[in-house]
Amino acid sequence: MKMGLINLQTKMDEIIKENKKISHYEPAPIAKRLFAGIMDAAVFLFTFFILALWVTTPIAKAGMHYDDYYLLGERYQLASHLFLAEKSDDNGNDIVVEVKDSTGNLRDYNASTLYYSSNDNPDFYIKRIYYYYHNFKTGVDIELPIDKGFDAVNDHFVSPEYNTPIEGVLPKDYYTNEWFSENILKVNAEDSFFQIDYTNPNYLESISLKDESKKAEAVSFLKNKAVEATNEMYYSSYYGEINNKIKYIQFYIFGVAFTLSFAAYFIVIPLIFKDGETLGKKSMHISVISFNGYSAKKRQILFREILLFITVSLLGIVVGIGLTSLAIISLGVVILFLLTLIPKTKRSAFDFAAYTVVVDSIHSTWFKDALDEKRHEEELEDNMSKYKKYIPDEEKVLQVGSTIVD
C-alpha cells in the first residue's frame, strides 16, 4: 500500500479543525466595545427623542395641561416686571417688548430675565426693579390675583380677588422710596453710582448717575440687583407651585420616553437577538455569554440590562433633566465603563453581577450548554471513526520522502 502519510495527516488535521470546537473565548477589545456603545447610544437617543417629541409630549399637553401651566409661569414672571417678553416678527426676527403687567394674550411671548437685556440705560432697570418691590410684591397694578391658586384647565386663577398681596410679604408702606434708595440703590454709600434730587417730586425721575463715565458699571450693578430680586421671586410659594408642576410634567415626558426607549432597545432587542446582541454589538461582532463559557441564559441578559437601566436612571435623577444632563449621564456611563474594564477579563460591574462576559465572537467559540458540548463530542467521534481505517500502522510502514512503503 502506498499512501502519502503527510497528506493523510493534513487531512486529519483539517477534519479535527472543522469538527472539534474548542470552547474558549477572548474578551472583546475595548475599541470594539466603545464603538458598539457609541452606535447603541446614537440609536437609543434617536428613539428617545422620537418618543419624547411625538408621543409623550402631545400626551402631556393634551391630558396634563403642560402649555397652560407654562403660560401661568410666564404670566407670573412678566407681572413681576423682572422679565421681558420676546416676540418674533413675520420674518422670524426677535422683538423685545417691554411688558409691565400680564395683560393681553401672552401665548406668543417668551419671558427672559432682565440680566440678558442689551439695554444700556440705567433708568430702564431702576424702574423695573422699583415696580417689582413697590407694585408687584404688594399686589398693586397687577391684574392677576397673586398667591391664591390657579386653574390650569380653564386657564385662569381660581381666586376672584385682585390686587391681593403675596402671603408673607410686607405691605406697600414698607417699600417706601427711602427704603428703595437705601437698600437697593445704596445712595448713602461712598461708592454708590446714584444720587437723588430731593427737589423733584417724581421719585423715579429724581434718580441720576453721579458719574456718567461709570454708566456701564451702574448697569452691571443694577443687573445684579435684578438677579437678586428674580431669585427671591423664584422661591415664592406661588411660583414654586407652578414650577414644581411643570417639572413634574417634564419628568413624565422625558422619564416615560427614556424608559420605553431603553426597554425596547437595551432589553427587548438583546433578548430577541442571539447572545445578547444589540445593533452596535452585532456590527462590531461582539456577544454576551456566560462567564463559564456557555451561552448566557435569558435571565442573565435580563438581569444585566436591568442593572444598566437602574444605573443610568440614578444618574439621571441626580443630575436632573435636560440636554446638559444627558451629556453628563453619557459621560458618567463612559467613565463607569472604563473603570470596570481594568480586570483582565474586561468585565463590567454588570457582567460581574450577572455572571457574564462580553467576548469577541470572531475569535471565540462556545457551546449553548453542557449537553450541547457532549453532543458535539459524540458527533466528532462518529465522524472520526470513518477515517481511522486509512491511518497506517506506524510499526509496519517506512517513510521514504513523502512515500509510504509497506
DSSP per residue, 112-170 = EEGGG-----HHHHHHHHHHIIIIITTTTT-SS--SS-EETTTTEES----SPPPTTSP
Residues 157, 160, 166, 167, CA torsion sign: negative
Q: Residue 74: inside a domain, yes or no?
A: yes
Work out the angle at residue 244's Cα, subtended by the Cα atoms of residues 242 and 248, and round it to the nearest 5 degrees.
Answer: 120
236 exposure class (CB count in 10 Å sphere: 0-12, 13-18, 19+): buried
Residue 42 in domain = yes
pLDDT reported for residue 316: 67
- Residue 402: inside a domain, yes or no? no
Quick check: is 10 in a domain? Answer: no
Same structural domain for residues 212 and 109? yes
Instruction: Look at residues 207, 235, 263 and tell me which one is the last residue of a structural domain.
Output: 235
CA angle 178–180–182, rounded 5-degree value = 70
One domain for residues 36 and 177: no
Q: State how far the Cα of 79 lies from the Cα of 131, in Å rounded to an integer.
A: 10
pLDDT at 277: 93
**Residue 192 in domain:** yes
Q: Are residues 109 and 189 in the same domain?
A: yes
| Domain span including residue 40 | 22-56+247-366
At 275, list the grid cell.
447572545
Residue-level pLDDT at 331: 62
- Strands 398-400, 207-209: parallel, antiparallel or unpaired by DSSP? unpaired
100 and 135 in one domain? yes
Note whether residue 275 is domain-resident. Answer: yes
The pLDDT value recorded for residue 101 is 39
How far apart, in whole angstroms, are the C-alpha atoms of residue 68 and residue 246? 10
| Buried-exposed string 10-41: b where 16+ CB fall within 10 A, e elsewhere | eeeeeeeeeeeeeeebebbeeebbbebbebbe
Going by C-alpha positions, the residue among 41, 40, 34 that lies closest to residue 330 is: 41
| Per-residue model confidence (pLDDT) at position 321 | 54
Which of 170, 204, 235 is a domain's end point?
235
For residue 198, the model assigns a pLDDT of 87
Separation between Cα atoms, residue 95 and residue 93, nearest integer Å = 6
Which of 273, 270, 278, 284 lies closest to 35 in space, CA to CA? 284
Q: Strand order in 83-88's β-sheet?
A: 94-97, 83-88, 110-113
Report long-range pairs for 250-256 (Cβ below 8 Å, ≥24 apart). Answer: 250/321, 251/321, 252/56, 252/60, 252/64, 253/52, 253/56, 253/57, 253/60, 253/66, 254/52, 254/56, 254/321, 256/51, 256/56
Specify the number of domains making up the chain.
Answer: 2
In a domain, 376, yes or no: no
Output the pLDDT for position 167: 41
Are 175 and 261 members of one domain?
Answer: no
Q: Which of 235, 263, 284 is the last residue of a domain?
A: 235
Same domain membership, residue 228 and residue 103: yes
Q: Are residues 208 and 340 in the same domain?
A: no
Is 139 inside a domain boundary?
yes
Are 172 and 320 in a shared domain?
no
What long-range pairs does 230-237 form, CB within 8 A, spacing at least 24? 230/80, 230/82, 230/83, 230/113, 230/114, 230/115, 233/77, 233/80, 233/82, 233/132, 236/147, 236/166, 237/147, 237/167, 237/168
pLDDT < 50 positions in the chain: 1-6, 20, 94, 98-108, 141-170, 398, 400-402, 404-405
C-alpha cell of residue 238: 406661588
Do residues 223 and 254 both lie within one domain?
A: no
pLDDT at residue number 375: 84
213/316 same-domain check: no
Q: Are residues 52 and 80 in the same domain?
A: no
Predicted pLDDT at 269? 94
Provide the pLDDT for residue 136.
Answer: 80
Are 222 and 308 contained in the same domain? no
